[in-house]
């Protein structure tokens, strides 16, 4: 077997692990959203308490993403990825043993640290293991794992509650959160450390401090990365957090029809992530991201405000999912190329987690504003503005020079030269 074949096998193994990890994270997150009505009835919690539990997990995931990124830059990608996956799996399963809402609040908050860390470390690992000219489509594949996990959550919750009563069914669903622990067994035997990270670590006299991402040479990248992820995730949370309620209460959809539209959104999301990743390698990171973000803003306005019938709205759910979720397909590659190797995980972890933590307030803002505007108008205004903000942030980013992409040789990858020329600002 040639060296190229061995490299390809290694890339596929890393891709499989990061894809599976992200899909399982999504499955757990969406499962909790789906069982929330059962938790309210079974544990006697208020809607406010249920919302606080979800918010706690999102906020701790923001902190966890940065901390895990810092640790990955110091101790290695694969080692820290094992830590965060085990943490996530353990506390996900422990949530199934909670006896009251306060216990669940604490356990979901602790679980959030692993949830946030998995993306940050996994994204740094896969971005360093693949050639830069394939980085976009690879990260698009990884990001599409969210759609797969979302679909699995619907199937899992539906299947469990057919077999078990509500009182035990929600526990069984949460116990499935232990499944990611099996990934660690595979990682221990199949995944070596990132060669790019090892080489950079050996060449470094002293590891940079976590605060180095705010140094003058990187401050602009960090701030624009935060602005991009803030707009991106704020818009996404505003749409997905209120979409079921909008369909049921504003459009008068039945539960079955609402579920059908959500499935259409998932299909659009999966295809959108793959398409975004492919296009970002072909025509450039910035132009692809900006196009998807602006189309997402337009799709939201049209979906929420055009007076079409049920069938028309179901058809419009496909482009809604394609652009609002598909825009995520380029995030990993963009963030990876904003930071040098020894700060890549902490930079990606901080910027992505900042966006998640700050974007988590958008559903609450939409809910508050809907007292003065219609729910559809509130979603359209704030979500479309958020996606537009993300597009503006990326428009001001400077494309990396070819010698700044640490995992390619100076005399290789001629395709990348033309790619970077198309990315460089006028």
Tens place of pLDDT per residue across the chain (426 aa): 566 667 777 778 888 888 888 888 888 888 887 888 888 888 888 767 777 787 788 788 888 888 998 899 888 888 898 899 889 889 989 999 999 989 999 999 899 888 888 888 888 888 888 887 788 888 899 888 888 888 888 888 889 989 999 889 999 999 988 888 887 777 777 778 888 888 888 887 677 787 888 888 889 999 999 999 999 999 998 888 788 778 877 888 876 787 788 889 999 999 999 999 999 989 889 999 999 999 999 999 999 998 888 888 889 999 999 999 999 988 988 998 888 888 888 899 899 988 888 887 887 788 788 778 888 898 999 999 999 999 999 999 876 544 444 444 433 333 333 333 334 333
Closest CA to 29 of 142, 119, 123: 119
pLDDT at position 2 is 62
**192 Cβ contact partners less than 8 Å away, ≥ 6 residues apart:** 10, 78
pLDDT at position 383 is 92
Q: What backbone torsions phi and psi does residue 82 show, to the nearest 5 degrees?
A: -65, -40
List, as own/partner pairs, every contact residues 32-37 make where C-beta atoms lie below 8 angstroms and the sequence separation is at least 24, other chains included.
32/57, 32/108, 32/174, 34/153, 34/154, 34/157, 35/157, 35/169, 35/170, 35/173, 35/174
List, as own/partner pairs, every contact residues 97-102 make where C-beta atoms lie below 8 angstroms and the sequence separation is at least 24, other chains included.
97/171, 98/43, 100/43, 101/39, 101/43, 101/44, 101/45, 101/49, 101/50, 101/53
Cα gap 251→310, rounded to integer Å: 8
pLDDT at position 426 is 31
How many distinct helices (H) and strands (E) make up the chain?
Answer: 17, 0
Cα gap 120→359, rounded to integer Å: 17
- Surface-to-core class of residue 103, CB atoms within 10 Å of its CB (0-12 exposed, 13-18 middle, 19+ buried): middle
Closest CA to 77 of 200, 209, 180: 200
pLDDT at position 106 is 93
pLDDT at position 244 is 79
Q: What backbone torsions phi and psi does residue 425 show, to the nearest 5 degrees?
A: -60, 150
Cα gap 150→240, rounded to integer Å: 12
Region of 131 on the Ramachandran plot (φ > 0 left; ψ -120 to 50 alpha; else beta): beta
Is the pTM above the cut of 0.85? no
3 state DSSP class of 51:
helix
């Amino acid at each position: 077997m040639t060296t190229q074949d061995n490299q390809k096998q290694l890339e596929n193994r890393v891709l499989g692990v990061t894809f599976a990890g992200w899909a399982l994270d999504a499955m757990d997150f969406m499962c909790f959203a789906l069982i929330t009505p059962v938790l309210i009835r079974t544990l006697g919690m208020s809607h406010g308490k249920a919302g606080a539990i979800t918010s706690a997990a999102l906020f701790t995931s923001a902190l966890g993403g940065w901390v895990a990124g810092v640790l990955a830059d110091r101790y290695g990608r694969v080692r820290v990825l094992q830590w965060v996956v085990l943490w996530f799996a353990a506390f996900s399963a422990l949530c199934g043993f909670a006896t009251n809402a306060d216990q669940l609040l604490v356990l979901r908050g602790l679980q959030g640290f692993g949830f946030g860390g998995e993306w940050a470390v996994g994204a740094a690992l896969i971005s360093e293991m693949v050639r830069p000219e394939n980085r976009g489509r690879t990260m698009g594949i990884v990001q599409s794992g969210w759609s797969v996990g979302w679909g699995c959550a619907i199937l899992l919750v539906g299947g469990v509650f057919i077999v078990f009563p509500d009182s035990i069914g929600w526990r069984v669903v949460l116990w499935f959160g232990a499944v990611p622990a099996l990934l660690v067994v595979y990682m221990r035997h199949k995944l070596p450390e990132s060669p790019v990270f090892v080489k950079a670590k050996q060449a470094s006299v002293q590891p940079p401090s976590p605060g180095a991402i705010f140094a003058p040479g990187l401050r602009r990248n960090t701030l624009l990365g935060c602005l991009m992820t803030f707009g991106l995730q704020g818009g996404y949370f505003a749409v997905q957090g209120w979409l079921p309620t909008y369909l049921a209460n504003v459009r008068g959809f039945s539960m079955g029809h609402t579920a059908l539209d959500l499935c259409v959104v998932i299909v659009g999301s999966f295809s959108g992530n793959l398409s975004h990743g492919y296009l970002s390698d072909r025509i450039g990171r910035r132009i692809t991201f900006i196009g998807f973000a602006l189309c997402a803003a337009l799709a939201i306005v049209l979906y929420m405000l055009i007076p079409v019938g049920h069938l028309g709205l179901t058809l419009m759910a496909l482009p809604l999912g394609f652009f609002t979720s598909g825009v995520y397909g380029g995030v990993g590659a963009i963030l990876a190329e904003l930071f040098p190797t020894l700060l890549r995980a902490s930079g990606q972890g901080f910027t992505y987690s900042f966006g998640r933590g700050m974007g988590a307030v958008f559903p609450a803002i939409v809910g508050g504003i809907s007292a003065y505007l219609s729910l559809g108008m509130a979603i359209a205004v704030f979500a479309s503005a958020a996606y537009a903000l993300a597009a503006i942030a990326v428009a001001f980013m400077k494309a990396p020079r070819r010698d700044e992409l640490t995992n390619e040789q100076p005399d290789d990858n001629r395709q990348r030269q033309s790619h970077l020329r198309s990315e460089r600002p006028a």
